[in-house]
Structure 1
Amino acid sequence: MAAPNPTARKFLGRLSLPERTFVADALRTETVGGILLLVASVAAILWANTPLGRSYEAVSDFHIGPAALGLDLSLQHWAADGLLAIFFFVAGIELKRELVAGELRDPKAAALPVIAAICGMAAPALVYALVNAIGGGSMAGWAVPTATDIAFALAVLAVIGTSLPSALRAFLLTLAVVDDLFAILIIAVFFTSDLNFAALGGAVVGLGVFWLLLRKGVRGWYVYVPLALIIWGLMYNSGVHATIAGVAMGLMLRCTRHEGEAHSPGEHIEHLVRPVSAGLAVPLFALFSAGVSVSGSALHAVFSRPETLGVMLGLVVGKTLGIFGGTWLAARFTRAELNDDLAWPDVFAVASLAGIGFTVSLLIGELAFAGDAALTDEVKAAVLLGSFTAAVFACVLLKLRVRKYQALYEEEERDEDQDGIPDVYEQDNPEYHLRMAAIYEEKAAEHRHRAELADASRGDGDSPA
């Protein structure tokens, strides 16, 4: 066996302390949002498959909004085009931050997750295309299984109680950010209807004003929220999917810190908006989109129609093999070595977890088969079943290594000197070693004192009255 190269670049290694703190805060909110997403999804399925199913359809199809502005939309439509714009706004901020201050700012470090994400989107599309080429199905849904739902994946981790090391969680988050970028491009390029150039021009002008106000340092939600609503409305009427407006505005925010700033404007706004996205926008979208029939005939259709089978296999097989294969190839050709504390089965488990494609997959499914309501519902059922299968598969793989993950997580969290900084980040600091020596000496003195008291107590007991 070849000796490890001490100069080789490691991947999935320890994050810097600021990056680790940011990732932990972001994932904590996403985990809570993911649990709400699970609850909303289960509620939608139960609602749609009980005698109250007709009321689910009636509520989802209830129209509201100013028709004069072209915004007389159903509640389901408002959730998909309106609320998800908030989700994509946060995704835009995440992407901007990753590009200027996160894992994607260094081209060498970014190569691996970017290649893994690209392969993780190409492989499911190829699996879908292959299944439908053999079965004679429609190629319209090739993009449905390409997306990863980070909130759903984190909810699964929370439910099974697996404390992944921060490097694996950051890798999953970076994958999801790049995944969202390509999903945005797919929606913008392949699911744009006939363009209304007047409305599109107005949206572009609005975005220009938004950018100018940011550069001038203008503050106040009462300025930006109305402007954002105008941009969104114009984008919706332009024929370009309205969520693109959210992404564009998110990318415009400054995510680098100036001197004296604890947080950049982008980080501050993301901190405010992320709970709204994860806790309200995405669960409500799931409530109005996940209500599909789970009867025997509907489940049979998932396995009998090439479109639905392609979606399911794309999520379960394509995502896992694409991300794992892309990661392995990128590591091999960039001569990067896996972190010594982890093994390739860990990467495979995270790759299988990325097969949970929920929010964006449901959205693309609605767009891809908009003219066929029955097939749209069957594709949604395939997304749900494929995501559930990927979640179960990932749980089994992660549970096999749960003791290793818990040991790594506890080592990362250990803070014996109680200074708020994990000890693993202070081991090269001489002051840390002095503090730890003092702590150990204090504990040793306390132990000696207790031993002396115990000996004295035993001596008193043995003395004659």
Structure 2
Amino acid sequence: MAAPVTPKDRRKFLGRLSLPERNFVADALRAETVGGVLLLVAAIVALIWANTLGGSYADVRGFHVGVEALGLDLSLQHWAADGLLAVFFFVAGIELKRELVAGELRDPKAAALPVIAAICGMAVPALVYALVNTVGGGAMDGWAVPTATDIAFALAVLAVIGTSLPSALRAFLLTLAVVDDLFAILIIAVFFTKEIDFAALGGSVVGLAVFWLLLRKGVRGWYVYVPLALVIWGLMYNSGVHATIAGVAMGLMLRCSRREGEEHSPGEHIEHLVRPLSAGLAVPLFALMSAGVGVSGGALADVFTRPETLGVVLGLVVGKAVGIFGGTWCAARFTRAELNDDLAWPDVFAVAALAGIGFTVSLLIGELAFDGEGALADEIKAAVLMGSLIAAVCATVLLKLRVRRYQALVEEEERDEDHDGIPDVYEQHNPAYHLRMAAIYDEKAAEHRRLAQLAGAGSDEGGRPA
């Protein structure tokens, strides 16, 4: 019989991050937040454009450009989905690699909880979609649409509503999204690859091998890697496997562990350079080319009456929240993890509801699942937008109920009374911190005594100015 779990054996989850991890998460999420706001703006522009000048929107989206001899004569919409999103998945690959070697996923025991939460957060929405379409007699092709979480859009919502989340909750959301992206990549690779050109796929694999070898040899220079990456991407596209897989494969190859004397690993350095391109250009342009759907009263009504679209909405709103919260609760209930004392289970449910914002990858999977079915494909996009909007509103309400508590925790995390650039909460158990604070106190006391002596020297015995 297993030994009982004692309080001493229990491990806190959603606890305070280490200082380096906290700083990395803060920098990453700051960039994602800016990108998310741009993404939100691009989606609004696409909706307005499609519903006011729909003909010109369709013409621009369908305009072809490229080299037909290389199999790359694509519409602007396909360039956005297959080309620009490869940059997004390249960054996702680096994030995943870093999480595996230096982040929340490096320790299997610590990684179990967010991984279980993410898996449940993808499985339950798929089950909700399947159930709705089984009862309603709809097409099962879109089961994967509500499984994705859009971290940039979720953070944009936080930026707009002005809710501060403690770093632990933000890190939990980021880790969920990273694992979510991994499984979304696997879903795209396994379920949305129809015909494979093995010659092109073999060429892409050879290119990836050369890419890996150059990295191992320490070869530097963007002029080497960028042309090679384009060749790998082009071969992957022509192979029939979705071209974004090339991006994540190259991201996973980068070294994300620091060696002696390095301030940043190569992966962190490249991510820092490429993330603005991904968040500020690639993803917003994809949203501009993909989010433009008709939102007339009849179209919105169809979202809640057609089983395919209703399954997407309920999958994002109900499936995500129930799946992530249920997976987290079960992992905590049956393992040695217990919730951080500063937080409560409603906080986990609020983040789970926020994860129901499935925009970028959900739109991509919707295009792949209903390729060639124009009207239904647009209705699925409308369902993604509606489901994401409802999830955002629900999460906003839940987060606002605890906003004072979050603000107090964030203020505690950010407090730096000695102005040394390191939050005091990370120094309170450090003897050097107490010595430094004592020295600061002594300096202030000496300054007060000196000022008092100067004031005394400038007055007569009666206390009047000399």
Post-superposition Cα deviations, 1:215-250, rounded to whole Å, max 9, x if no partner, equal 111100000000000000000000000000001000
Give 1:388's aligned amino acid. Answer: L
Distance 1:285 1:442, change over 3 A: same
Corresponding residue SS for 1:6: helix
Distance 1:45 1:430, change over 3 A: same
Alpha-carbon deviation of 1:456? 13
Alpha-carbon deviation of 1:453? 11
Give 2:35's aligned amino acid. Answer: G
Post-superposition Cα deviations, 1:52-97, rounded to whole Å, max 9, x if no partner, equal 2211110000000000111110000000000000000000000011
Give 2:64's aligned amino acid. Answer: H
Distance 1:444 1:386, change over 3 A: farther
Asked whether the 8 Å contact 2:154–2:357 carries over to 1, the reply is yes
Give 1:236's aligned amino acid. Answer: Y
2:89 aligned with 1:88: yes
Partner of 1:28: 30
Alpha-carbon deviation of 1:440? 3.9
Partner of 1:16: 18
Distance 2:248 2:24 in 1: 20
RMSD: 2.2
2:116 aligned with 1:115: yes
Post-superposition Cα deviations, 1:36-64, rounded to whole Å, max 9, x if no partner, equal 000000000000111x2211110000000
Partner of 1:416: 417
Partner of 1:261: 262
Distance 1:259 1:451 in 2: 51
Distance 1:300 1:155 in 2: 27
Corresponding residue SS for 2:163: coil
Give 2:43's aligned amino acid. Answer: S
Deviates more, 1:445-454 or 1:341-350: 445-454
Alpha-carbon deviation of 1:444? 5.9
Post-superposition Cα deviations, 1:125-161, rounded to whole Å, max 9, x if no partner, equal 0000000000000000000000000000001111111
Distance 1:414 1:20 in 2: 14
How many equivalent pairs are there? 461
Asked whether the 8 Å contact 2:9–2:336 carries over to 1, the reply is no
**What residue ranges of structure 2 are gaps of 5+ in the alignment?**
none
Distance 1:121 1:451 in 2: 68
Percent sequence identity over matched residues? 84
2:203 aligned with 1:221: no
Partner of 1:5: 7
Distance 2:92 2:296 in 1: 35
TM-score w.r.t. length of structure 2 = 0.95
Deviates more, 1:428-437 or 1:353-362: 428-437
Partner of 1:66: 67
Distance 2:372 2:82 in 1: 17
Alpha-carbon deviation of 1:429? 1.5
Within 5 Å, give how 1:43-58 maps onto structure 2.
43-50=45-52, 52-58=53-59
Distance 1:7 1:371 in 2: 55
Give 1:140's aligned amino acid. Answer: D
Alpha-carbon deviation of 1:163? 1.2
Distance 1:361 1:441, change over 3 A: same
Distance 1:296 1:454, change over 3 A: farther
Corresponding residue SS for 2:9: coil
Partner of 1:184: 185
Partner of 2:125: 124
Corresponding residue SS for 2:405: helix
Partner of 2:274: 273
Distance 1:454 1:336, change over 3 A: farther
Post-superposition Cα deviations, 1:314-336, rounded to whole Å, max 9, x if no partner, equal 00000000000000000111121
Corresponding residue SS for 1:218: coil
Distance 1:450 1:390, change over 3 A: farther
Alpha-carbon deviation of 1:430? 1.5
Give 1:78's aligned amino acid. Answer: W
Distance 2:121 2:291 in 1: 24
Partner of 1:159: 160
Specify which of 37, 40, 45 is matched with residue 38 of structure 1: 40
Within 5 Å, give how 1:357-372 maps onto structure 2.
357-372=358-373
Partner of 1:309: 310
**What residue ranges of structure 1 are gaps of 5+ in the alignment?**
none
